[in-house]
Structure 1
């Protein structure tokens, strides 16, 4: 496809890292990209070249306007986990997309949704939203990523990794995880938006390498050229730190997912996830090549990130 085709893309969540990666990928492929933003959003947070449209997920009229003329939509919800609020967001999105006659909608749950009920609102609100969008009548693909490599580049992680040789993260050291990169997410999203025969499906996303925390630290250490150890970060400490960046409510929602993954059921679910999200399954479903963890780690400016943390 080229910029002269009749496809018009809407990205919901483009001010975040995940949605921003999708918008940039679509732009680089030559597509027209509209992004939904809240009133007062700083333009510097938007990828260059997008068409911004102001709208609030809570306002069905604004959603209808945002979707007007749109043929394809990539959706990620904000870090809100109150069930009735998220349900209204999903319903407004579903109705607007259906009314606009959207050809394909891809919903990124933003976090892994386990294959069992958990009672964790960050999981269950996304499970419910996915069901709403899949039942909307709009051809929909749901993407379930578990955890992102870019989390390891957060200053509070990279700082201790580089300066102390200790990778601290709130997951058990022996938990097998298929860490996913934002670039691979963007490639998978674009494929899900355009690939024939995938509508109505749910795809679990992960990177091609399934590693424990200890193995992950080894890969990061290889990129740094010196040993790095893994240390499980206390989730309460993680939540307190995250609250400064995203607010107390969002931090509590995210922290609850890490607490669940540390349980026996969470570990079993994560192990099943690693199999379902393997590169073979993802590549078969979407036709994308995933970036090896070692390649990704070697390309990161770890020392510059750590300097920013200091």
Structure 2
């Protein structure tokens, strides 16, 4: 039976599509524009805000992987949530796996927790309320953030890994491939429901990240903490106005003492899956 993967032209969906295909599953890319897919990829053109079209796509599906576009207009995201929930309720696919895309939904009481009114929380609550078997993959920060030219190039050329967190601030870092591993496990085996947190435990510090880069580059690399505002100045030429939400995120993270997943909901505990080391991940992406 078919597995539908939303966002399969992007950083999150493409690894899920590839892993399902490699496992011999019938995987279909559910995207707005199939033109961006590799040749030969099975695809279906869909609009995340079109509930009727989504319901037709979901009918008879073994699994659906979905996440909300990052940095989108809140009104658009809200409409997409309504459409997705309606489609799941109507079509009743066998399994839905939602990615939080890094939003924090598994730390109630923390100032970092996404409010209950946030679109991602509404999506999780709405799909779960349909009674369809549902799991949520909940990463924190992506290692792919470290591939930004303003981060990776100084690490390589100057031996300095600059990032807007304190050097000893622990984070449950994970890669998109780590998330895909968990998503595929959850799509193809429905014995786990609810939130599965993805990332390193114990959390990796900036010093740990620099050590991974040093191992990969076979040269000394040190970590240098910079302010969120200084990071914003570096990324604004790349992101434009979209840089401001990134700056706001790192201001919030700096106000906390860590960004680490709980052991009892971790993929390590629930699925037996551990994230790749920084050096292994760098080697895999050929950084």
Q: 1:37 to 1:299 in 2, by over 3 A?
A: closer
Unpaired segments ≥5 residues, structure 2? none
2:64 aligned with 1:96, yes or no?
A: no
How far apart, in 1, do the equivalents of 2:127 and 2:261 lie?
Answer: 25
How far apart, in 2, do the equivalents of 1:52 and 1:238 lie?
Answer: 38
2:202 aligned with 1:217, yes or no?
A: no
2:19 aligned with 1:34, yes or no?
A: no
Q: 1:50 to 1:255 in 2, by over 3 A?
A: farther
Q: Quote the residue 1:3 is aligned against.
A: none
Q: Quote the residue 2:100 is aligned against.
A: 109
* Pairwise CA distance, 1:11: 0.7
How far apart, in 1, do the equivalents of 2:234 and 2:210 lie?
Answer: 21
How far apart, in 1, do the equivalents of 2:4 and 2:238 lie?
Answer: 26
How far apart, in 1, do the equivalents of 2:150 and 2:223 lie?
Answer: 14
How far apart, in 1, do the equivalents of 2:236 and 2:281 lie?
Answer: 28
How far apart, in 1, do the equivalents of 2:223 and 2:275 lie?
Answer: 24
* Pairwise CA distance, 1:155: 2.2
Q: Quote the residue 2:64 is aligned against.
A: 73
Report the 3-state secondary structure (helix = DSSP H, G, I; strand = E; otherwise coil) of the residue aligned with 2:4.
strand
2:279 aligned with 1:301, yes or no?
A: no
Contact 2:150 2:235 in 1 (8 A): no
2:195 aligned with 1:202, yes or no?
A: yes
Report the 3-state secondary structure (helix = DSSP H, G, I; strand = E; otherwise coil) of the residue aligned with 1:231.
strand
Contact 1:94 1:133 in 2 (8 A): yes
Q: 1:71 to 1:142 in 2, by over 3 A?
A: same
* Pairwise CA distance, 1:58: 1.9
2:42 aligned with 1:51, yes or no?
A: yes
How far apart, in 2, do the equivalents of 1:119 and 1:298 lie?
Answer: 31
Q: 1:277 to 1:205 in 2, by over 3 A?
A: farther
- Stretch moving more, 168-177 or 57-66: 57-66
Q: 1:244 to 1:96 in 2, by over 3 A?
A: farther
How far apart, in 2, do the equivalents of 1:218 and 1:212 lie?
Answer: 10
**Which structure shows the bigger proportion of residues in helix conformation?**
1
Contact 1:81 1:125 in 2 (8 A): no
* Pairwise CA distance, 1:188: 0.3
* Pairwise CA distance, 1:275: 4.0
After TM superposition, the structure 1 = structure 2 runs for residues 223-234 of structure 1, keeping only pairs within 5 Å, are 223-234=216-227
Unpaired segments ≥5 residues, structure 1? 1-6, 303-310
* Pairwise CA distance, 1:98: 2.3
When normalised by structure 1's length, the TM-score is 0.81
* Pairwise CA distance, 1:56: 1.7
How far apart, in 2, do the equivalents of 1:143 and 1:295 lie?
Answer: 22
Contact 2:34 2:43 in 1 (8 A): no
Q: Quote the residue 1:136 is aligned against.
A: 130
Contact 2:97 2:137 in 1 (8 A): yes
Contact 1:207 1:277 in 2 (8 A): no
Q: How many residues align?
A: 284
When normalised by structure 2's length, the TM-score is 0.87
Q: 2:155 aligned to 158, 161, 166, which one? A: 161
Q: 1:164 to 1:246 in 2, by over 3 A?
A: same
How far apart, in 1, do the equivalents of 2:161 and 2:138 lie?
Answer: 25
